[in-house]
Amino acid sequence: MISRTRSWRLALATLLISLASMLRSPHASAVDAETAAATRAREEGRLLIYTVGAQIDPLIAAFRAKYPFLTVQTYKADTVEVARRAIEEHEAGVDEVDAYELNDYGLVPLLEADLLAPLNSPELAHYPPMAIENGRHWVVMREDLISLGFNTTSVKPDDAPHSNAELLDTKWKGKLGLYGESTAVAHWIGTIILSEGEAFLRKLAAQEPVVYNTGGRAVANLIVSGEAPIVINARRSHMIASQRDGAKVAWRAIGPVYATVSAIAIARQAAHPNAAALFADFMLGAQAQTIYRDDLGYSSMRDDMARADDPGEKLYLGSRPKFDQEYEDWSRLAGQLLKGRR
Amino acid sequence: MAPGIGSGVQISLARGWPSKSFDSGRLFLWATITILGVIILPPFAYLLSTSLTVEQARAPAFFGFDNFEAAWSRSGFDIWRVTLIYAVGSSLLAIALGGLAAWLAARTNAYCRGFALVGALVSMSSPVIVKGIGWILLLGPNKGVVNEALRGLLGLQGVPIKLFGLGGMISIEAILWIPVVFLLLLPAFSAMNPALEEAASMSGAGRAQVIWRITLRLASPALIAVALLTFIRAMESFEVPLLIGSPGRVETLTTVIYDSIHAGFRPRYGEASAYAISLLALVVIPLLASNRLARDGGRFATIGGRGFQGARIDLGGWRAAAGVYLALIPLALVAPLAILFWASFLPIYEPPSMADFGRLSLNNYRSLLDRPQIIAGMRNGALTAGLAACLVVAIASIAAWLASRRREPSRRALDILCSLPLAFPGIVLGTAVLIEFLHLRFIPLYGTIGIMVFAFLVRFMPYGFRICHASLAGLHPELEEAARVCGASGLGVLSRVVAPAIMPAISAAWIYVFLNSIRDLSLPVALAGPRNPLIATTILDLWHDGKIPAVGAISILLAMLAAFLGWVFTWLTRREGNAI
């Protein structure tokens, strides 16, 4: 027979164990899961990431520092090129890639080719449903905003336009720069049409913006040098990174801005699936998102990392139901209004 | 008929040449055709099939001519007109300026001859897109260094030099091609026997008449070859139209096609391939005509059985003026590198000013050493480019020799095979080679630098072939006959007579392929990977991250490498008695 005192002790111990187990979850179980994944990843030893590569080096460095037992390799190219290469490789029986860091539209053909595995990261809880693909095949983790960038030596901040309407001032005729890569122009046209209407767009085109077809970052460098003193579709991240290096430039939202988004995904036939999962967890986690937000000038999609200076109205053009058709229309309009095509 | 000028001698490798029982030369010809076919035809087949494959979103692809229709209708007459003006204008300007520089360096006693060569090579060391930005920073209307200086020093108003527009495009494209023209024409002028010019002078011809009726006629195979190369490359060029044309609202065919490739969510290579095939059809007639010129026996041969002393023309009072020209041309060529040189010492690019002297440092050069990718990229880049250059030169020189000396109709296959890659857009060739080696896994090249060597071999074969072919037109077959009569074997003739005689051309071809393989971006983007990084992809990474100063630092290192190669080239040509 159990004594009364001993019964009390047993009951107390049971209660404490229950409380402890309640206190451990979910965080402790997440740590356990991460530790287990890390152990398995250590056995795999390697990780190959296909990426658009813009500003990813600090993230890779932080990941390497956290998991020094992994040899991380990257292949960098533009989103469309990466997607095409992954599909060609898979069709030829070569499945070497483990994870992707791409614009979401580059992941669509990969999903159609059944090359992506669903993500099971504990970090998903921090992301809004709109950031997670329906089948969890990718998660949009950061966004960049597009609006006015200018050289503060060439254009005083007070003189620079504060709204889209001010762009129509005759003093800007022939002086506004436009990043002219076809996707960027189509997105910008879409943003102006959705926010101000097509009539406004035609007036703006009559201001004869100078089209720089040199790559987004190269256009940012022209702003830094003063050669392109004001650009109406500059990336905020480029301006913030340039400011950090000492450049006299600024970025300003002068109307609804459109957001370009980047997502993380892992390959269905990854040679190193645990290392890939570890990388996805890391990229979605607070450490990587802090680097994106505080060091590189992006906005995080995490619900606990909003930027104080984010503009009120953002447009996610790729999420529009008839985006494919609209994109074709905007591209055609860009050719007619800015390049004099038929 | 005894072998002689225009007799069409048959070259055989067998010692008993001409052999009646077994012609090993014919075997050699067919072996070369086979090797070239294996190298070049698979990418061409991909190009052809891509041009005829019409891809549709969410529907199976089908065969048809829709890509051709789209490529032609998208462009319209006006864009064809602008493209032709741009291509003809830039190639003529490049040939005029580069040809004059080559003639002055090779045939006269002008000052600064070596400087011109080194300047030409240095200017070829960095990617066109980097140099294009360099030109914008120099000549841009708002903060371009030159326009700022002209406004500040001379009090000029507005934009003294207008870069953005058709005129700027033609000028910049020509400037980009001057070093190539210079390098390709230098061997032709160097190998020219001055006896014919002297004879013309003795007969009373004036200097201009001698140049027009003797010098240019003798150099015509090389001139035509270079004119074709520059014209085709200008028709295909997209960096200058993108960088310089777009801000001035000038479009060419390539910018329209480039947009069509990149406009959608999937790259549409069909239209680009259709355009490439159209271009090939457009240039095939002048290409074959130029080969016919070079095949016409010894009409253009100036190196014959009798030795000659490469006497230089004394320019007299014009010597200094010619020297200024030879100094200014390379200075203009390396001007965009100068702006990168300035940037390479700064934390972030700012236009040159006295105020920034205190911020100059070597940090960008030190930071290169902290990036293991850069060291690996440099090593792989040099190895890849060196191997590609050796293979191109070896195969192209043999193919050119056979094409110019054999008489069988099948020799034309060499011309055609070596000319096909001229029309390959870089990105399409990259994809073709990628797919080829993904499906030929028993050849373990995928993911190695071997695949890059192969791609560069295909891409630069036409240049190696044209350079050697033009040079062989100046070499009289009687030299080879004399060697045979003295008992030399076919290989002996090739290695001990032909190769030394066209060594300047071989060296020029090697350096051309090497430098272009180092700086080419379109192929590495498609083919390089984590296991085979190249310096070009590293430059592109830094470029995308906005690190102009770091790009400047790498460009300066590459320029130093090019200068070293220039010195080696000069030393080699001097050793062979063709010093400039």
Query: What is the reported pLDDT for A13?
Result: 64
Q: Where do the H-state alpha helices sit in B108-141?
A: 113-123, 128-139
- The pLDDT tens digits of the residues spanning A125-172 come to 999 998 999 899 999 999 999 999 999 999 999 999 999 999 999 999
Top pLDDT among B515 and B174 is at B174
Which chain B residues have a beta carbon less than 8 Å from that of A109? Answer: 265-266
CB contact (8 A) between residue A84 and residue B431: yes
Q: What is the pLDDT of residue B126?
A: 76
Average pLDDT of the segment spanning B346-355 = 81
Instruction: Name the residue in chain A with its Cα closest to that of B440.
Output: A92
Nearest to B431 by CA among B277, B270, B278: B270
User: Quick check: B246 and A247 CB within 8 A?
Assistant: no
Using CB atoms within 10 Å of the CB of residue B482, give its burial: 0 to 12 exposed, 13 to 18 middle, 19+ buried. middle
Interface touch A108/B531, C-beta < 8 Å: no
Terminal CA-to-CA distance of chain A, rounded, Å? 97
Q: With an 8 Å Cβ cutoff, are A210 and B543 in contact? A: no
Which of A281 and B485 is assigned the larger pLDDT?
Answer: A281
Look at residue A20 and tell me whether its pLDDT is greater than 70.
Answer: no
Contact of B369 with B375, CB cutoff 8 Å: yes
Tell how strand A99-103 and strand A257-267 pair up: antiparallel
Q: Cα–Cα distance between A164 and A157 in angstroms, integer?
A: 15
Task: Kindly determine whether residue B246 and residue A211, on different chains, have CB atoms separated by under 8 Å.
Answer: yes
B352-384 in b/e form (b: 16+ CB < 10 A) is beeeeeeeeeeebbeebeeeebbebbbebbbeb
Was domain A30-142+260-300 assigned CATH 3.40.190.10?
A: yes
Cis amide prior to A122 (ω within 30 degrees): no
CA distances to A209, B74, B404, B427 from B263, in Å? 20, 13, 45, 15
Model pLDDT, residue A275: 96
Contacts of B446 in chain A (CB under 8 A): 94
* B179 CA: distance to closest CA in chain A (Å): 24
pLDDT higher at B255 or A143: A143
Q: Which of helix, strand or coil describes residue B113? A: helix
Phi-psi region of A93 (alpha: psi -120 to 50; beta: other; left: phi over 0): left
What is the largest distance, in Å, between two alpha-carbon atoms of chain B?
Answer: 81
**pLDDT value at position A256?**
92
Write out chain A residues lying below 8 Å of B543, CB-based.
215, 217-218
What are the sequence ranges of the domains in chain B?
75-294+320-340, 370-544
Q: Which residues of B touch A241 (CB under 8 A)?
A: 546
**A278 CA to chain B: closest CA distance, Å?**
20
Q: How far is A27 from chain B (nearest CA, A)?
A: 36
pLDDT of residue B6: 38
Measured CA to CA, the distance from residue B268 to residue A60 in angstroms comes to 32
Interface test with A, best of B151, B159, B259, B342 (most A CBs within 10 A): B259
Q: What are phi and psi of B59, to 5 degrees?
A: -155, 150
**pLDDT on residue B123:** 78
pLDDT digits (tens, 9 = 90+) for A189-225: 999 999 999 999 999 999 999 998 877 888 898 899 8
Share of chain A above pLDDT 70, in %: 89
Q: How far apart are CA B25 and CA B374, in angstroms?
A: 46
Name the strand (E) or helix (H) holding B508.
helix B503-519
Chain A, chain B: beta-carbon pairs less than 8 Å apart: 138
CATH code of the domain occupying B370-544 = 1.10.3720.10
Residues of B in contact with A106 (CB under 8 A): 265
Total count of residues recorded for chain A:
342
Tens of pLDDT, residues B124-147: 777 787 788 888 889 999 888 899
* Category of A226 on φ-ψ map: left (φ > 0), alpha (ψ -120 to 50) or beta: left
Which of A212, A226, A241 minimises the CB distance to B351?
A: A226
Residue scoring higher pLDDT (B287 or B274): B274
CB neighbours (10 Å) of residue B444? 11
Judge contact between A121 and A102, C-beta under 8 A. no
CA distance A165 to B311: 72
Residue (of A339, A160, A95) closest to B259 by Cα position? A339
Residue among B263, B530, B540 minimizing CB distance to A48: B530
What CATH superfamily is the domain A144-259+314-339? Periplasmic binding protein-like II (3.40.190.10)
Strands (E), chain A: 46-51, 71-76, 99-103, 116-117, 139-151, 177-179, 210-212, 230-235, 249-252, 257-267, 299-300, 314-315
Q: Do B548 and A221 touch (CB under 8 A)?
A: yes
CATH number for region B75-294+320-340: 1.10.3720.10
Mean pLDDT for chain A? Answer: 87
CB-closest option in A80, A89, A227 to B140: A227
B3 — pLDDT class (breaks 50, 70, 90): very low
Give the position of tokens 């930071």.
Answer: B367
pLDDT at B580: 47
Which positions in chain A touch B349 (Cβ < 8 Å)?
221, 224-225
Contact A93 B441 (CB under 8 A): yes
| Mean pLDDT (whole number) for B2-25 | 49
- Candidates A96, A182, A245; nearest CB to B263: A182
Taking the CA of residue B251 and the nearest CA in chain A, the distance in Å comes to 8
- The reported pLDDT for the residue numbered B290 is 67
pLDDT value at residue B265: 59
Which of A182-191, B91-100, B437-446, B538-547 shows the lowest mean pLDDT across its residues?
B538-547
Write down the mean pLDDT value for chain B.
81
Strand A116-117 and strand A257-267: the pairing is antiparallel
Confidence check: pLDDT of B188 > 90: no
Give residue B172's pLDDT: 93
CA angle centred on A145, ends A141 and A151, rounded to 5°? 140
The nearest alpha carbon in chain A to B79 belongs to A341
Give the one of B246, B255, B348 whose C-beta lies nearest to A212's C-beta: B246
State the Cα–Cα distance between residues A249 and A237, nearest whole angstrom: 12
The three-state secondary structure class of B296 is coil
Distances (CA, A) of B358 to A316, B343, B346, B366, B426: 45, 13, 10, 18, 42
pLDDT in tens, B448-467: 889 999 999 999 999 899 88
The Cα of A19 is separated from the nearest Cα of chain B by a number of Å equal to 49
**pLDDT given for residue B17 in this prediction:** 45
**Contact residues on chain B for A182, CB-CB shorter than 8 A:** 259, 262-263
Taking alpha carbons only, the member of A233, A173, A222 closest to residue B143 is A222
A144-259+314-339 shares the fold of A30-142+260-300: yes
Contact yes or no for A210 and B247 at CB 8 A = yes
User: What is the rounded CA–CA span in Å between residue B280 and residue B39?
Assistant: 18
SS3 A101: strand
Give B538's pLDDT tier (boundaries 50, 70, 90): confident
Answer for the pair A137, A117: CB distance below 8 angstroms, yes or no: yes
pLDDT tens, position by position, B486-499: 888 777 888 888 88
What's the alpha-carbon Rg for chain B, to the nearest Å? 24
Beta carbons of A53 and B132 less than 8 Å apart: no
Mean pLDDT of the B471-475 span = 78
Burial B197-234 (b: 16+ CB within 10 A, else e): beebbeeebeeeebbeebbeebbbbbbbbbbbbbbbbb
Picking from B246, B249, B348, the nearest residue to A245 by CB comes out as: B348
Task: Enumerate the H helices of B53-112 as residue ranges.
Answer: 66-107
Residue B10 in this model has a pLDDT that exceeds 60: no
pLDDT digits (tens, 9 = 90+) for B30-48: 999 999 999 999 988 888 8
Q: For the segment A81-93, what is each residue's pLDDT rounded down to a tens digit?
A: 788 889 888 888 8
* Domain-wise residue ranges, chain A: 30-142+260-300, 144-259+314-339
| Euclidean distance between CA atoms A146 and B552, whole angstroms | 28
Question: In chain B, what percentage of residues exceed pLDDT 70?
Answer: 87
- Distance of CA A112 to CAs A116, A119, A167, Å? 9, 16, 41
Model confidence pLDDT, tens digit, residues A28-39: 555 666 677 888
Distance from CA of B8 to the nearest CA of A (A): 49
Q: Are B74 and B271 in contact (CB under 8 A)?
A: yes
- Spell out which residues of chain B touch residue A98, defining contact as CB-CB under 8 Å: none
Tokens matching residue B332: 């203009």
Residue contact A245–B133, C-beta within 8 A: no
| pLDDT over 80 (residue A44) | yes
Backbone angles phi, psi at B554, to 5 degrees: -65, -40
ipTM metric: 0.72
